[in-house]
Amino acid sequence: MNKNEAWKRKIAYQIYPRSFCDANGDGIGDLKGITSKLDYLQSLGIDYVWLCPVYASPMDDGGYDISDYKAINPLFGTMEDMDELLAEAKKRNIKIIMDLVVNHCSDEHEWFQKALADPNCEEAEYFYFRNSENGPPNNWRSMFGGSAWEQVPDGRYYMHLFSKKQPDLNWENPKLRERIYEMVNWWLDKGLGGWRIDAITHLKKEPTLSSLPADGDDGLVGCFEPTRNYPGIGDFLTELRERTFDRYDCITVAEAAGVPYHQLGEYIGENGYFSTLFDFSYAELYSYGHTWYTCKKAWEWPKPGCVTRCLQARRKPKRSASAQSISKTTTTPAQAKSSCPRNTSPSFRRRCSARFGSSSAASPSSIRVRSSV
Ligand SMILES: [Ca+2]
């Protein structure tokens, strides 16, 4: 069994530091509190402790918006407390795993602040800044709702696939990647046992950042297709592994939504990017209003826009088949057709019919009318 397989016989225990154990009585769990419970964790037979983020952060997204990768949030203690936790855990054969959040950082991170102050500085290239005179550069929707672009005072826009306080890092920039690798190795040199790696399938963006057909009444489109497990991401992940993880005895667990089964070997095979990953395919069976029944064939369920239209058809039964109602929909027939070819396919109609029943409102014919007129 090589080092990448040792984790298979280990037990991991996740800690949400804020509520785990408060050592100084201020009402907020902290690192010293965790250290005080190591004997208890050892008694449970724990091999790994995964700490949710304790980095410096404005906590816009529970600490997944990091303003300094090499600093501890004062809420949880100090770096000395962290070093003590690592040392005491090691004495008990417990390894500490931390979150690695490198798809984005906080807008309060020094890099972003420099990028705001000087559009021509090196750090400005660490992010996706674009100039655009007619609103956001494209119609991608943030995971947190609304446009995935935010305008800054000088007129530029920056991309944020998540919160607007989480500007996406531009992994196309080699200097940014070097900064990330240096940080990862800095932590591993401290004795960190590994990483739970956040939102890692979003590192690669569709290079032209082009708009896509809207899939909702807001005129926006979910950013899954152009940013999740996008072709070419393997180059980034291979380099990340070779420059960091491969050089240490550590475990890596990828939050890897959007990886189809036929690609699992690339991600977690013998020479995969990570030790293992969180498989979201079951969780996503219910995404976009679908259930397991309409999604029996993994990763072949329709895109969100199709389901939005399907739901609209169900909610407006008397209007679904008339040309008048079609003219009032916010998504044009051309958009509907181009956004999801399955909209008119027999297999899609069968799945929608199974999911939404066979009434005239949700019948395959009403869906076909919407997409083909
Ligand atoms: Ca405390």
Q: Which single residue is written with the structure tokens 């200097």?
A: 175
Is pLDDT at 175 greater than 80 in this prediction? yes
Give 245's pLDDT tier (boundaries 50, 70, 90).
Answer: very high
Which one of 280, 314, 343 terminates a domain? Answer: 280
* Total tally of structural domains belonging to the chain: 2
The span from the CA of 167 to the CA of 156, in Å, is 13
Q: What residues does 201 pair with on adjacent strands?
A: none
Give 267's pLDDT tier (boundaries 50, 70, 90).
Answer: very high
Is pLDDT at 332 greater than 70 in this prediction? no
Lowest model confidence (mean pLDDT) among 8-17, 53-62, 127-136, 357-366: 357-366
The answer to the question of residue 113 being in a domain is no
pLDDT given at position 29: 98
Same domain, 261 and 305: no
Same domain, 194 and 65: yes
The answer to the question of residue 276 being in a domain is yes
The answer to the question of residue 355 being in a domain is yes
Rounded to an integer, the average pLDDT of 325-348 is 37
Rounded to an integer, the average pLDDT of 318-340 is 36
Same domain, 235 and 326: no
* CA of 158 relative to ligand 1 center, distance in Å: 35
* CA of 30 relative to ligand 1 center, distance in Å: 5
Whether the Cβ atoms of residue 330 and residue 219 lie closer than 8 Å to each other = yes
pLDDT given at position 58: 98
The half-sphere exposure of 358 on its side-chain side, counting CA atoms within 13 A, is 2
pLDDT given at position 315: 40
The answer to the question of residue 232 being in a domain is yes
pTM of the full predicted structure?
0.78
pLDDT given at position 358: 32
Pick the closest to residue 322 from 356, 370, 276, 256 (CA basis): 370
pLDDT given at position 349: 39
Give 4's pLDDT tier (boundaries 50, 70, 90).
Answer: low
Catalytic residue among 123, 150, 198, 215: 198
C-alpha distances in Å from residue 141, one per residue of 106, 223, 276, 284, 286: 19, 6, 29, 18, 20
Catalytic residue among 30, 150, 215, 255: 255
Rounded to an integer, the average pLDDT of 96-105 is 98
The answer to the question of residue 111 being in a domain is no
Which structural domain range is residue 361 located in?
287-372
Same domain, 101 and 247: yes
Lowest model confidence (mean pLDDT) among 68-77, 86-95, 240-249, 296-305: 296-305
255 assigned to active site: yes
Q: Which single residue is written with the structure tokens 């329709």?
A: 302
Give 356's pLDDT tier (boundaries 50, 70, 90).
Answer: very low
Same domain, 255 and 239: yes
Same domain, 74 and 196: yes
* CA of 352 relative to ligand 1 center, distance in Å: 51
Rounded to an integer, the average pLDDT of 234-252 is 97
* CA of 19 relative to ligand 1 center, distance in Å: 9
Same domain, 182 and 319: no
Instruction: Judge residue 333's burial from the number of C-beta atoms within 10 Å of its C-beta, 0-12 exposed, 13-18 middle, 19 or more buried.
Output: middle
Residues having C-beta closer than 5 Å to ion ligand 1: 22, 24, 26, 28, 30
* CA of 35 relative to ligand 1 center, distance in Å: 12
Same domain, 265 and 295: no
Same domain, 324 and 249: no
pLDDT given at position 285: 64
Is pLDDT at 359 greater than 70 in this prediction? no
Instruction: Judge residue 215's burial from the number of C-beta atoms within 10 Å of its C-beta, 0-12 exposed, 13-18 middle, 19 or more buried.
Output: buried
